[in-house]
Structure 1
Amino acid sequence: MPVHLISRLPSPTTASFTVSNASRHTSTLAKLFFYFQFLLRGIAFAGVLSFHAARFRHALFSQDSFVPWATVWSSPLGSSVCQLADTSNFVVAILVSALVIYGVFLKGYTEESLLVIRGLGIQTSTSSPTYLFKAATRFIPTTEIQDIVIHEAFKGFEVRFYLAVIVAGEPGVVVVFPKLLPNRAKLEEVWRGSRHCLYDSKP
């Protein structure tokens, strides 16, 4: 998927750069597909919960509950779910359920960001592949930043450019946007904006 860059300059001393390969949903068809996808995720999640609720219905749900579970399980849909839950292999059901839950919470895109604050430092962030975990972040104080540079390296048979922060006392560099590796034009825009925010006091 194509990578796009979003630059925000809320003040002369603060800059934010975000790269993402998520769909922008600009067209009506793309928006409809986005909402339809979330609907399918909700149905799949509800299906997994219903399956396991039916499997353990005798242990989890009592007759004194305010919900008429006997009516629920005896309905056409409820009886079908109960029959499937009672006849399925437990190990296979757990494995399939885990895969479905993982697919439900899978983002399907990557988002990485760089936040620059003059006098404080920079913070890099890489989103988690699922909605269940937070993004991986790292903060580097200004006193530890030696420089911000654009390097080039071989990835397979092609040359790729990457933005790197040289940190005092570390043998290697901190790569910004390590997952997406945007093209050189986007990296130059981030490089100029971040250096201007960190070091240049002129407007």
Structure 2
Amino acid sequence: MPAHLTVRRPSPSTVSFSVSNAPTCLTLAAKLAFGIKLATRILLFLFVLFINAAKLCRMSSFAQSKSDALWQDLWSTTIGTLAGRIADTYSWPVVAGLVTVLVFRRGYTEESLLVIRGLGIQTSTSWAMYWSTAATRFIPTTQIQDIVIHEAFQGFEVRFYLAVIVEGEPNAVVVFPSLLPNRRILEEVWRGTRQCLYESKSSPLHN
């Protein structure tokens, strides 16, 4: 999914640029696909819980529950039989891995740049899991030497990237390092960032 840009301006001195490759639910087909994906995640999560219940029932401390008629009927169903086989075959780490990969993985990346005039900028990159916190870095205005758009080779492809040159650091800080959005998005972010930081609308574009 191509990366798309969202711009928010909560105040004249603050602007936020968010780039994400999450699918946009604008059409009926996209909304239907999102609904199916969400329902599938919920069903997978419930099935994994069912597998965990099966593993508990196979432990000695839960042996008596297996004699209950309700449990007997439950484990004799197709889903119960499948959950029991998986519980007997795989260990706890494997089942936990199923929860992590199939249920709690985002499936998309989101990166942002927050610009506050007089203070500085903050970059943020979200991790793959829903419960993980984003990796952020704040760069004060006094340490920002320049904000530029560079180009580099990625394999046989030329890619553009937005970079912040920080005083005292040998390497520039790359903004949106995971997604590397196209040049049109980068130019819009570059102009908006410089306008917010320096209140300038006529700065030349760096390549």
Measure how far apart 1:12 and its partner are: 1.7
Task: Give the count of matched residue pairs.
Answer: 197
In structure 1, the residue matched to 2:204 is none
Name the SS for the 2:178 alignment partner.
coil
What residue number does 2:205 align with?
Answer: none
Does structure 2 retain, via aligned residues, the 8 Å contact 1:112–1:125? Answer: yes
Contact 2:151 2:158 in 1 (8 A): yes
Instruction: Give CA-to-partner distance per residue, 1:114-154, whole Å, 9 cap, x none.
Output: 00001111111111112131111111111211111111111
Q: Secondary structure at the match of 1:105?
A: coil
Conservation of the 8 A alpha-carbon contact between 1:55 and 1:82: no
Instruction: Give how far 1:110 is off.
Output: 0.9
1:97 aligned onto 2:59: no
| Residue 168 (structure 1) aligns with | 167
Aligned counterpart in structure 1 of residue 75 of structure 2, from 59, 63, 78: 78
In structure 1, the partner of 2:15 is: 15
Give unmatched runs, 5+ long, in structure 2.
202-207
Q: Which runs of 5+ in 1 are unaligned?
A: none
Q: Secondary structure at the match of 1:100?
A: helix
What is the match of residue 25 of structure 2?
25
Cα 1:126–1:149 change in 2 (3 A) is same
Assess if the C-alpha contact under 8 Å between 1:73 and 1:82 holds in 2.
no
Where 2:95 maps in the other structure, the secondary structure is helix
Partner of 1:141: 140
Shift, 1:87, TM fit: 4.8
* Inter-CA distance 60–141: structure 2 relative to 1 (3 Å threshold): farther
Local SS of the residue matching 2:149: strand
Distance 1:61 1:117, change over 3 A: farther
Shift of 1:166: 0.8
Q: Distance in 2 between matches of 1:2 and 1:36?
A: 21
1:1-203 → structure 2 map (5 Å cutoff): 1-57=1-57, 70-75=68-73, 77-80=74-77, 83-84=81-82, 87-88=85-86, 90=88, 92-94=90-92, 96-101=94-99, 102-200=101-199
Instruction: Give % identity.
Output: 58
Aligned equivalents of 2:107, 2:86: Cα separation in 1: 30
Letter in 1 for 2:52: H
Normalising by the residue count of structure 2, what TM-score does the alignment of the two structures yield? Answer: 0.84
Distance of 2:49 and 2:136 partners within structure 1: 33
Following superposition, the deviation at residue 79 of structure 1 comes to 3.3
| Partner amino acid, structure 2, of 1:10 | P
- Give me the whole-angstrom Cα distance separating, in 2, the residues matched to 1:185 and 1:85: 50
**CA distance, structure 2, for counterparts of residue 82 and residue 170 of structure 1:** 59
Quick check: 1:54–1:73 contact (8 Å CA) kept in 2?
no
Provide the aligned C-alpha RMSD in A: 2.6
